[in-house]
Every structure is written in structure tokens, then in C-alpha cells.
Amino acid sequence: MAGGEVGCVLALYSEEIAFFDAEEMKLLLELAGDISFALDGFAKEEKLDYLAFYDPLTGVPNRALFRERLNQRTGAADQGEHRLAVVLLNIERFHTVNDTLGRQTGDELLKQIAGRCLRFAADPALFARPVGDQFGC
């Protein structure tokens, strides 16, 4: 078990009944526990890696990944003497939505805005949510 879910199954079979003695069973159970611990660690590491660069609410890149990609594009624009435009969308009085309709409604609004913007973004990989009520591309 890892994270409350079955991650893998360790199955050993023998043609003989009671082939494994108590000591071997103890070792096998310990091995299964070690494997479960390792799988749980991998799952947590994967989640941390995701959260380091993506907004958990909308699933779009967060400030860190937005800055990294913006730096890459800025560098490319400087080297190739290309023009670069950055668009920031700030939702005015967003706190009023949260205060009057509740945070759950505000979160749903943010998800809808992200979804709609992604559909119209020239390059969805450049779209991000750098701040709570702000989007950029």
C-alpha cells in the first residue's frame, strides 16, 4: 500500500504447503513494507515536483515556471532581435467574489478563466497563473 492505494503486489508461490517458515515470512513482510515505503516516497516526490511548477487549483504553470519560461523567451528575443509581448490579466475586485460568494465559487471562477484562456492562447505552454488573481502569457 502506498498513499492508501495498492501500488504493487508481491506474490510468491510454491507447490509445497507451508514452504516458507515463520522467519522467511517475517522477512517477506518486511520486504513488502520496504517496497511500500519506497513507492510512497516516489509518489510524494512526484507530487512535490509538480507543485513546484504548477498551480494545484488550475493545473497551469505557477510563478516559478512562468518566470523560467519568460526568461527563456526574453533571452531568445534578445539574441534574435525579436519582439516580445507579455500579457497579464488581473481580475479586479476578485476578493469581493470570495467574500460575497465564497472561496469555492472564487476557485471555480479561476478554473473557468484558466480553461477559457488556455483555449485562446497561441501557445498554451506559456500561459500561467503567477499570482492568486492574475494570469499571464
Active site residues: 133
Sheet architecture: strand order including 128-131: 88-90, 134-136, 128-131
Q: What are phi and psi of 61, to 5 degrees?
A: -55, 150
Alpha-carbon Rg for the chain in angstroms: 24
* Residues whose CB falls within 8 Å of the CB of residue 24, separated by 6 or more in sequence, listed in order: none
Instruction: Report the alpha-carbon distance of residue 49 to residue 40 in Å, rounded.
Output: 14
What does the DSSP 8-state code read for residue 124?
G
Count of CB atoms within 10 A of residue 24's CB?
A: 11
Question: % helix / strand / coil in the chain, to the nearest 5?
Answer: 60, 10, 30
